[in-house]
Structure 1
Amino acid sequence: MDCSVTNALPKPKTISVNGAVIAREVIAREVQNHPAEKPVLAWHAAARALVVRELLLQESRRLGIEAEPLRDPEGRSETPEEAAMRVLIEREVVTPAPDEAACLRFYQQNRERFRCGDLYEAAHILIAAPRSDMTARTRARATADRILSAARDDPGLFAELARSQSDCKTSAENGGRLGQLTRGQTVREFEAALQRMRPGEFAIAETRYGFHVVRLDHHAPGQVLPFELARERIADYLATGVQHRALAQYVSVLACRAEITGITLAASASPLVQ
């Protein structure tokens, strides 16, 4: 078969692997597992996945592999075919575990990936206005500016202003305090405002909800996990990457030995068993 990469796949008529036909209705059922922007792309992805499955099944039968299906903690069991493919891959696709040097090198090159999120303590006063109503947004901004000026002149007024002016009723009852915040707990615009502030500062953050008069009380920068705590996670990540590449290469070898009709299985994008 042609193992070269292709971007234009012909619509399959009859797809087969060494004479074993993959029925169109089987491909149609598989499509749900391969979401894509266009139905034709989902169809081709499903067809390629089934071609890979057939390659692995035929190879497991050629090698006479039989395996006891495993059962997961929820009681679901592999099919005999799934068990045979699993054992085939375990036997034929052997990948070395990443050593200490490889893990340390990855850690040193990607230290920011192992940083715990920053911790903020903040309070706010929300002047709500829908984004689609420019008149309301203009009024809300003017109100927020007045509150900001008052809070800067007398920081002790902030809690009372929150109780009387804020449209965020939950935090208003607590003087505007939001408690401790980490990444992802607030909308993107509010989080960006916190990142620009220093403890003790006041600022205005514009979000989809309106305008927030923000007070930042504390900021604890996130710490980078020491290598000893990150090593196991790094090893798992590196091992998974190596295994995926090795499995893709193994599938490519099987594909090049086989007679596949109706579809091109690109070597660089061989779909793996899901």
Structure 2
Amino acid sequence: MIQVNQTTISEQAVMAEVQYHPASTKRAATLKAAESLIIGELLRQRANALELVTSTNPAEEERILDELIAREVAIPTATEKECEQYYKQNPKRFESSPLLEISHILLAASPDDDNARVEAKARSEIIIEQLQQGERFADLARRYSACPSKETDGNLGQISRGQTVAEFERQIFNAQPGLMPQGIESRYGIHVVYIHRKIEGQTLPFNAVKQRISDYLNEKVRRKALAQYIHQLIIEAEIHGYDFNLSDSPLMQ
């Protein structure tokens, strides 16, 4: 049982809340649930103190919370100068994705079939050697590939980041044009890859990303201001049955 300024939060309420706070252990989930209920109660009590009408309707509660925050929390907005400074300090964040034009030969093998993956790896080495000796990629793709792209000689066309699985993407976007000297492993098997062309990403102009930067910085400041506001409510409250000093929540960092 938890007391928050004379208001009781029962053990049953905490247990019911646990389902909304997945964690690596039951104890961690329980702590998160308790913390969430305590913070919610503190916000309700503060809204009552300011004579904001509370409600059990979730949409109405959200509106009241927004009104409470607007009244109680000063949240500055990012200036254009701050946005431009962030842009200059983080140029890699604002590059367009490189474009690759590639062909591949997929030697299918399930992730949990070790024998099939060993065989696929060995086959990929043979195919790469054949290609290095002058065999046509299109011919070998049509003969060996398990991907539908074999009907177009293994050609996947132009791809950018986010269009392929992560383990495949990591390898190809760090490679240079030409035949990759080793097969690439993915959840689908082993890929023999030829990169026909690589167009490097370009830094986007500031005006094209200014709004995105502003939204990011404003949300970051908002979260920090809310955390400080809630922290102050916790300090001023009488809370029994829960110790925020034992919490590893980001709120308390």
Aligned-residue offset at 1:234: 1.0
Secondary structure, counterpart of 1:252 in structure 2: helix
Partner of 1:65: 52
Task: Say whether 1:215 aligns with 2:194.
Answer: yes
Partner of 2:59: 78
Alignment equivalent of 1:198, drawn from 176, 179, 182: 176
Partner of 2:72: 92
Partner of 1:250: 229
Q: Distance in 1 between matches of 2:168 and 2:249?
A: 40
Aligned-residue offset at 1:232: 0.9
**Structure 1 residues 173 and 94, CA gap change in structure 2 (3 angstroms):** same
**Structure 1 contact 49–271 (Cα < 8 Å) conserved:** no
Aligned-residue offset at 1:127: 2.7
Within 5 Å, give how 1:66-215 maps onto structure 2: 66=53, 78-79=59-60, 81-130=61-110, 136-154=116-134, 157-168=136-147, 170-208=148-186, 209-215=188-194
Q: Distance in 1 between matches of 2:170 and 2:65?
A: 48
Deviations 1:16-50 (A, max 9, x none): 11101012222222212211111111111111111
Secondary structure, counterpart of 2:197 in structure 1: strand
**Structure 1 residues 248 and 268, CA gap change in structure 2 (3 angstroms):** farther
Secondary structure, counterpart of 1:144 in structure 2: helix
**Structure 1 residues 46 and 123, CA gap change in structure 2 (3 angstroms):** same
Partner of 2:240: 261
Secondary structure, counterpart of 2:191 in structure 1: strand
**Structure 1 residues 22 and 196, CA gap change in structure 2 (3 angstroms):** closer
Secondary structure, counterpart of 1:143 in structure 2: helix
Which residue identity is paired with 1:198? Q
**Stretches of structure 1 lacking an aligned partner (at least 5 in a row):** 1-13, 70-75
**Stretches of structure 2 lacking an aligned partner (at least 5 in a row):** none
Q: CA RMSD in A?
A: 2.7
Within 5 Å, give how 1:6-21 maps onto structure 2: 14-21=1-8
Q: TM-score, normalised by structure 1?
A: 0.80
Aligned-residue offset at 1:167: 2.4
Partner of 2:216: 237
Q: Which runs of 4 or more aligned residues in structure 1 lie more than 6 Å from their structure 2 counterparts after TM superposition?
A: none
* Structure with greater helix share of residues: 2
Equivalent pairs, count:
250
Deviations 1:80-107 (A, max 9, x none): x433222111111121111112111111
Q: What percent of counterpart residues are identical?
A: 38
Task: Say whether 1:35 aligns with 2:40.
Answer: no
